[in-house]
Structure 1
Amino acid sequence: MDAFTQKRMMESRTWWHRHYQTPDVVTRKRMMESRTWCQRLMTSCQKVDEDEFLRILDDSYELRRLANTLSSDTDSFVDIIRDKVGLNRVMRILGISDDINTILLCPIMIRFHEIMTHEHGKDLASRVLDVCNIHDKNLFCQITYHHHESQTTNERTWCQRLMTSREKVDEDEFLRILDSSSASSYHELRRLANTVSSDTDSFVDIIRDKVGLNRVMRILGISDDINTILLYPIILRFHEIMTHEHGKDLASRVLDVCNIHDKNMFCRITYHLIFYIAHNENGCSIIKKAITTADDLFKSDFLDLIAQHANLLSTHDLGISLFQHVVDLDFTKKTTEEDTRLHELMAEFDKILPITSDTAELHKLALKLTSDSDLFLELVKTKRGSLMAQIIIGKSKEIDTVFWEAIKQNYTNVATSFYGHHIFRRAINVVEETRKLKLVAQILRLDGYNALYLTKEPHIGNLVVEYTINRHDSVVTELVASGLQGHYIELSFLKHGSNIVAMLLGEDEELPLLLIVTEIVECDEDTLVRLANDEYGNGVLAKTLQVAKKLRDDLFGDLVGKLRPFLDTLRGSRGENIAQAINVLEERGKSRLFEITKRLNGYNALYLAKEPNLGLQDAIDLHEPDFTKLIACGLRGHFIELSFLKHGSNIVEKPLGEDEYLPLLLIIMEIDIKCDEDRLVRLAKDEYGNGVLKKTLQVAKNVSDDLFGYLVGKLRPLLDTLRGSRGENIAAIINELQ
């Protein structure tokens, strides 16, 4: 095999992989989970997966979703074809409809050589040629031709000169070949088209040349088979060609003159590479043209893809212009027809959205929308509504304020909505562009305060928390960690929950480690062994050991001490790696007895705090920050309860008096999560609780303006209720400190 042929066989895979890399961590994770599901469904011999596959075969929408996912990753597609069960299921899907065939033909074309030289390639080729329409068969045959035939260097040089030369002799020769009135000249035209498309490097150079582009466009449209020949190199080098200044003209020509089947193939490739050409002005124009040209099935695919991954597009003006194009389509407008009230309101937005210079009317409509929580939630949960909201956000400061207040009031519903959570991401992007960093922190703190609810929501909520952690903001990370206090072991048994716990540990922050180690040390023997042997919990425990050894030798020693009695039980099971990790990591074992005693006080802080004569106050008076944090973790979830007790309230006030951020954060998070209005009023009026609340306000003002502002916001609606009672001093303190 010559070097040129080898290059041509590799270039399709090289170019595809170079441009099919998503930049967003959370989105990449979602895509990978979808592909993992697809891989299992297509290759598993388990009856549950086989039954699911058969169910999908009878559901046209689900089948199209499966085909799109199947063709979105060519590596995965090749693996599926090489698997006997996978091949059988792909062949069962082929032939169901022409559009499904077109979807599956894309990865076959991109990885043609690898697939067709495998032992299963013969069966797959036979199936394609048996069930596909004449146009897809012709494209398949054209690909086969290109992988078999190799033009000589002289032929390629002749072709390059003929297509780009401004010399009259070459122009006359081109016109002669273009005249297809006779069979012989048409044969020459096919020969020219085959040579032009045989070397994609040369084809790209021809397209970049103004004369070359003009001549390629003159050849396109002469016949369907010529169009099919020229479509092949366009698809292989799609990204490079379509982001060039000439790409827009070439795409328009293809979509104007090609038959419906070749147009569908062009739209299919545009669909696969939408996120990578959308950031380019020419590429974005081509996407709009493809969507407009596509039939309703393809329009539906485009709408689903853009709405589901809107965060990849909403960070730049071209992406927002694409949203505007999509929501202006009659097809998109029809998607909300069943909800009359929402449909009528969105029609009002449609009338004024193109008028971007005057936002006063848009502001009125935004107020009308957000004043009704039910209507607002209906909007953000639809594809059309979510895209519309992302277009509107950023139009003016007043509009952004209106939407931000609506998001705050309906935060958990917006954040866990399949389409609505993109509005939250868009709001952050807009605020960051205006450099209002305090508002960004305020938005992200909502994730911290709602961390437990979001983490337990397996579809979207946990992705929102992952996005927040991935921003690597230590304050917000601590808020999330505090929001999950008391639930780390519970979450470690869940797939999505264990991911969140591992991510918090991966931030190398001390607070998540302290909270997790405290829970592990406090848990019973049976729970600890189950955790070590659990599919997800095992990973959390291993990660905790690694991070503890890296950050805090004392906490690592405590973990080893807790686990050592069970090492023999863990050997020979999934938990064996925990025993091995403990043996590999260096054992400290040299702590002074006094240090061990102090930490035992921390882990048993709750028990000691409820007993007035066990000396926990003396231990706090040592004024050692690490120990104070450990005691605060030991009391987590019980600060309010202790605040109603004489000796308990003294214990709560002691860590606060250390002016440490962690005790303050844990107390305020507990007030937020566990205190309804009635309980907060009782706390403010209580003989001992009043002092704790007063101390908390004073320390918050000294340590963190953000936490102070949040606590004041929680108390402000209750100030009238507190006046004339013991709680009146709380109102006075708030007025004094602000």
Structure 2
Amino acid sequence: MTTPPRSADARASVEQESPVVPPPPPRFIPPRRFVNLTEENRSLINSLRSATSTLQETDTCMRSLRNLMTSEEDGGAAQFREVILELDAAGLRRMAWFLTSHSGYFLTIARNKNGSYRLQKLLGKSNDVDTLFFAAFFRSFLDIMTDKEASFVVVQGLRVFSNVMKEALFPHIIEHAVDLACDQHGCVALNRSITVLDDPYCRTFFLYAVVVNALPFSYHAYGNFVVQHVLDLNDLQCTRNIAVNLRGHCVELSFERYGSYIMEKLLDTKESMVVVVEELLKCEGDRLVRLARGTYGNFVVYKALRVTQAEIVTCGDLFWGLVNKLKPFRDLLGASYSYTIATLLDSID
């Protein structure tokens, strides 16, 4: 049996249901915004294009370059962008050379908010430029990493540098890990550096520096934030290594403000949780009660009870061990700090 041909009306209906889709409109590219360069910056471009310069011309160039990198006047950001667009690879390399030729000069610019931002924009422009910046980082690593604004430049470098350059910085990181982690701005820079390193091999060096110093960091007002940051990465091997390095100090750390933060983080992972709870169980009953009644320790004890209760099937011995050590001292746990612990104990049959 043959299929009858479609009628003209049917064909018209199909055509209406499947209209021809027109091609997308051409992408609009806005015209380059005209920026009227200042006379100083026009002269700077000419100096950067020149292969040679007198001592006086060099001084003038470096003064103008510092103004370009740090100034907010005369549309500083727009002036900077225009200068970069005007320069070829050789000009950018010469610009980077001037910026990094003297450590003090480089630090002055890097410590300025505008200077830091504009230095970051130069990173990744070419391998030659990156090499010059890398050398500057190498000479003044600690000074840069412990400055609020300058540290952003190194972090950006870790994003764009080749792995060879990154690995060459690792000895500095290991050497200065304690100084960085225990500094107000250095600890933030260290955490940012760990975050931006997406290569597992490169990140390992940073994590190693934290793991081997986990104990002193855990007592420190700034260092503890670095340990917490690493634990938040949920790297099970790294978490286990930190727990092992803190073994024997868990109870003592739980009494401390900063140390208690670390103990609570370790209780979030089963493998490290076992290390903490087993140590709590080893301490004398009166010491455990003092910890449970303490300003900071009560949070650790309560969380230890909660997480072991949640894992009752596999951690029942740990949970009941804590309960049995605390139950005889129930009447001492009614104070404000230990109220939640007392309430939990009362809820257990």
Structure showing greater radius of gyration is 1
The 5-angstrom pairing of residues 276-295 of structure 1 reads 292=72
**Larger RCO, structures 1/2 (Cα 8 Å, 6+ apart):** 2
1:429 is displaced (CA, Å) by 4.3
Matched, 1:452 2:215: yes
Q: Distance in 2 between matches of 1:446 and 1:543?
A: 28
- Give secondary structure in 1 for the equivalent of 2:248: coil
- The aligned counterpart of 1:443 is 206
1:514 is displaced (CA, Å) by 2.2
- The aligned counterpart of 2:306 is 546
**1:392, 1:399 within 8 Å by CA — same for their partners in 2?**
no
- Identity of matched residues, %: 26
- The aligned counterpart of 2:284 is 524
**2:123, 2:129 within 8 Å by CA — same for their partners in 1?**
no
Give the one of 127, 131, 134 matched to 1:366: 134
1:149-174 alpha-carbon deviations (Å, 9 max, x no partner)? xxxxxxxxxxxxxxxxxxxxxxxxxx
Inter-CA distance 526–382: structure 2 relative to 1 (3 Å threshold)? same
User: Structure 1 unaligned runs (5+)?
Assistant: 1-244, 250-290, 296-327, 334-340, 587-738
- The aligned counterpart of 1:119 is none
**2:123, 2:157 within 8 Å by CA — same for their partners in 1?**
no
Inter-CA distance 423–571: structure 2 relative to 1 (3 Å threshold)? closer
Inter-CA distance 580–481: structure 2 relative to 1 (3 Å threshold)? same
Q: Distance in 1 between matches of 2:145 and 2:123?
A: 22
**1:380, 1:420 within 8 Å by CA — same for their partners in 2?**
yes
**1:489, 1:519 within 8 Å by CA — same for their partners in 2?**
yes
Q: Which one-letter code corresponds to 2:265 in the other structure?
A: M
Q: Which one-letter code corresponds to 2:229 in the other structure?
A: Y
Give the one of 405, 409, 413 matched to 2:179: 413
**2:191, 2:229 within 8 Å by CA — same for their partners in 1?**
no
- The aligned counterpart of 1:475 is 237
- The aligned counterpart of 2:169 is 403
Give the one of 325, 344, 355 matched to 2:105: 344
Calculate the TM-score normalised by the size of structure 1: 0.30
- The aligned counterpart of 2:190 is 424
Q: Which one-letter code corresponds to 1:515 in the other structure?
A: V
Q: Distance in 1 between matches of 2:246 and 2:154?
A: 31
The 5-angstrom pairing of residues 84-99 of structure 1 reads none
Inter-CA distance 294–457: structure 2 relative to 1 (3 Å threshold)? farther
User: Structure 2 unaligned runs (5+)?
Assistant: 1-28, 34-70, 76-94
**2:155, 2:189 within 8 Å by CA — same for their partners in 1?**
yes
- Give secondary structure in 2 for the equivalent of 1:410: helix
**1:447, 1:465 within 8 Å by CA — same for their partners in 2?**
yes
**2:178, 2:213 within 8 Å by CA — same for their partners in 1?**
yes
The 5-angstrom pairing of residues 630-669 of structure 1 reads none
Q: Distance in 2 between matches of 1:418 and 1:429?
A: 18
1:553 is displaced (CA, Å) by 0.4
1:568 is displaced (CA, Å) by 2.4
1:500 is displaced (CA, Å) by 1.8
Inter-CA distance 294–514: structure 2 relative to 1 (3 Å threshold)? farther
**2:253, 2:260 within 8 Å by CA — same for their partners in 1?**
yes
Q: Which one-letter code corresponds to 2:214 in the other structure?
A: A
- The aligned counterpart of 1:466 is 228
- Give secondary structure in 1 for the equivalent of 2:161: coil
1:516 is displaced (CA, Å) by 1.9
Inter-CA distance 573–464: structure 2 relative to 1 (3 Å threshold)? closer
Greater share of helix: 1
Q: Distance in 1 between matches of 2:119 and 2:332?
A: 69
- Give secondary structure in 2 for the equivalent of 1:383: coil
**2:145, 2:185 within 8 Å by CA — same for their partners in 1?**
yes
Inter-CA distance 365–553: structure 2 relative to 1 (3 Å threshold)? same
1:542 is displaced (CA, Å) by 0.8
- The aligned counterpart of 2:346 is 583
1:427-454 alpha-carbon deviations (Å, 9 max, x no partner)? 434431xxx3233244323322221111
Q: Distance in 1 between matches of 2:123 and 2:288?
A: 62
Q: Distance in 2 between matches of 1:352 and 1:448?
A: 32
1:8-47 alpha-carbon deviations (Å, 9 max, x no partner)? xxxxxxxxxxxxxxxxxxxxxxxxxxxxxxxxxxxxxxxx
Inter-CA distance 440–572: structure 2 relative to 1 (3 Å threshold)? closer
1:573 is displaced (CA, Å) by 5.7
Give the one of 289, 311, 319 matched to 1:556: 319
Matched, 1:390 2:155: yes
Inter-CA distance 294–544: structure 2 relative to 1 (3 Å threshold)? farther
Q: Which one-letter code corresponds to 1:381 in the other structure?
A: T
1:345 is displaced (CA, Å) by 4.7
Q: What's the RMSD between the two structures over aligned residues? A: 3.8
Matched, 1:515 2:278: no
Q: Distance in 1 between matches of 2:334 and 2:185?
A: 46
Inter-CA distance 571–425: structure 2 relative to 1 (3 Å threshold)? closer
Q: Which one-letter code corresponds to 1:344 in the other structure?
A: Y
Inter-CA distance 352–584: structure 2 relative to 1 (3 Å threshold)? closer
**2:308, 2:316 within 8 Å by CA — same for their partners in 1?**
yes
Alignment: residue pair count: 251
